[in-house]
């Protein structure tokens, strides 16, 4: 839990005038009134998120404005969620609920980057020392075991899969805190992981290829699984959602209609994974991954299309457990 003293001064209370926000948006796009709402919601949410994990600068006093700007630039503008909020919300409370969903999603994506980036960051100094040697391929730094003859070319997907399979026996550390990104490997085990990858791959590998190997090895740490609970959770004021509400019924039908692969695709897209990453996980072409994504979207449109937006959110809340366990099917 982040203490209040780690936050900047509380932003001015948002006016909460949906008509004024809508008029402002139609005249000038995302303006001060909508940004006031973003700041207020973000200020209420971030004490629940450890700044060392979710803030890119390590504290909310200096990282708060970065988060607000990320929500505006990436979610409201980049993903066109501002227009969606204005078109969908029938009240300021509904607007704030939808906006809260977007802030939580942005926070969730920050944590998923931190987990993978922490591993890659810890790997770099190990790779810069013996038994590894550095080289270069098309202006990218590559690594190989010293003395081993390795090709200076990109690894194939099958080779990345083989490297992933070779390190799955190496133990993973458990984390006792939900507020901290998992360590995944101890320093000794991470060094063993890197040496084993160097032994198995026929090519010198880049940090990008190491990233892909780790994602293949650690599907339970993929964004769609790791942090769905942070933005698909049921808020306390929704704890009395009836089991026969349209959203809950729709969630049950989604689980019936989607197979294991499709549930993974849904979890991955909700978390912001690109089609190319999903293609790698499924071992298919990018076009095939895109087609499978569209099939999932078609089912969701069929089931969620008739629902009001509040029920769609309840559907996503109810889907949380199924999505958190969604992993790529075995080849």
The domain spans of the chain are: 11-111, 128-218, 225-324
d(CA 62, CA 123) in angstroms, rounded, equals 28
- In angstroms, rounded to a whole number, what is the distance separating the alpha carbons of residues 79 and 232? 18
The residues, ordered by sequence, that sit 6+ positions from 259 with a Cβ below 8 Å of its Cβ are none
Q: How confident is the model at residue 114 (pLDDT cuts 50, 70, 90)?
A: low
240 has pLDDT over 70: no
DSSP-derived 3-state class of residue 142: strand
Q: What is the DSSP letter of 154?
A: P
Mean pLDDT, all residues of the chain: 80
As a whole number of angstroms, the distance between CA 194 and CA 112 comes to: 21
Give residue-wise pLDDT tens across range 153-206: 888 878 988 999 899 999 988 655 544 556 789 999 999 999 999 999 999 999
207-236 pLDDT, tens digit per residue, is 988 988 887 787 555 443 333 333 333 333
Share above pLDDT 70 across residues of the chain, in percent, rounded to a whole number: 79
pLDDT at 193: 97
Confidence check: pLDDT of 29 > 80: yes
pLDDT higher at 57 or 42: 42
DSSP helix, strand, coil percent of the chain (3-state; round to 5):
65, 5, 30
Asked if residues 39 and 83 have their Cβ atoms less than 8 Å apart, the reply is no
Q: Quick one: what percent of the chain has pLDDT higher than 90?
A: 29
Which stretches of the chain are assigned E, i.e. beta strand? 132-137, 140-145
* DSSP label at residue 328: P
Instruction: Give the residue with greater pLDDT, 175 vs 315.
Output: 315
> CB under 8 Å to 10, separation ≥6 — which residues?
43
Return the higher-pLDDT residue of 166 and 47.
166
Asked whether the beta carbons of 172 and 183 are under 8 A apart, the reply is: no
pLDDT at residue 220, as a whole number:
53
Q: What tokens does 250 get?
A: 């729709």
pLDDT band with cut points at 50, 70 and 90 for residue 324: low
Cα torsion at 320, 324, 325, 329 (round to 10°)?
A: 110
Question: How far apart are the C-alpha atoms of 305 and 317, rounded to whole Å?
Answer: 17
The pLDDT score that the predictor gives to residue 1 is 40
> From CA 215, how far away is CA 237, in angstroms rounded?
36
Token pair for residue 173?
């550390």
Query: What pLDDT score does 178 carry?
Result: 47
Nearest CA among 212, 201, 200, 205 for reference residue 133: 205
Concatenating the DSSP letter of every residue in 165-226 gives HHHTTS-----S-TTS----S-HHHHHHHHHHHHHH-SB-B-HHHHHHHHHHH-GGGSHHHH
Collapsing DSSP to helix, strand or coil, 123 comes out as helix
- List pLDDT tens digits, range 120-159: 889 999 999 999 999 988 778 899 999 999 998 888 878 9
Yes or no: say if 229 and 302 are a contact pair by the CB < 8 Å rule. Answer: no
């Amino acid at each position: 839990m982040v203490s209040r003293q780690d936050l900047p001064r509380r932003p001015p209370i948002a006016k909460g005038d949906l008509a004024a926000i809508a008029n402002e948006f139609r005249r000038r796009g995302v303006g001060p009134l909508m940004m006031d709402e973003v700041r207020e919601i973000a200020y209420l949410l971030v004490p629940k998120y450890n700044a060392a994990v979710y803030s890119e600068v390590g504290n909310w006093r200096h990282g708060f404005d970065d988060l607000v700007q990320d929500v505006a630039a990436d979610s409201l503008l980049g993903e066109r969620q501002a227009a969606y909020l204005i078109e969908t919300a029938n009240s300021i409370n509904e607007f704030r609920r939808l906006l809260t969903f977007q802030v939580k999603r942005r926070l969730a994506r920050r944590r998923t980057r931190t987990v993978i980036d922490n591993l890659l960051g810890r790997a770099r100094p190990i790779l810069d020392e013996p038994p590894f040697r550095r080289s270069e391929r098309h202006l990218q730094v590559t690594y190989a075991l010293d003395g081993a003859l390795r090709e200076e070319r990109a690894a194939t997907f099958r080779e990345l899969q083989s490297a992933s399979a070779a390190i799955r026996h190496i133990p993973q550390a458990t984390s006792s805190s939900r507020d901290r990104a998992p360590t995944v490997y101890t320093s000794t085990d991470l060094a063993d992981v890197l040496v084993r990858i160097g032994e198995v791959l026929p090519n010198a590998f880049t940090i990008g290829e190491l990233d892909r190997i780790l994602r293949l090895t650690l599907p339970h740490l993929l964004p769609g699984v790791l942090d769905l609970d942070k933005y698909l959770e049921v808020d306390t004021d929704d704890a009395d959602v009836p089991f026969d509400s349209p959203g809950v019924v729709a969630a049950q039908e989604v689980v019936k209609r989607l197979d294991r692969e499709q549930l993974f695709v849904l979890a991955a897209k909700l978390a912001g994974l690109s089609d190319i990453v999903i293609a790698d996980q499924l071992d298919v072409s990018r076009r095939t991954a895109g087609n499978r994504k569209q099939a999932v979207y078609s089912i969701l449109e069929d089931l969620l299309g008739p629902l009001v937006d509040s029920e769609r959110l309840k559907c996503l809340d109810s889907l949380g457990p199924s999505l958190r366990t969604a992993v790529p099917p075995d080849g």
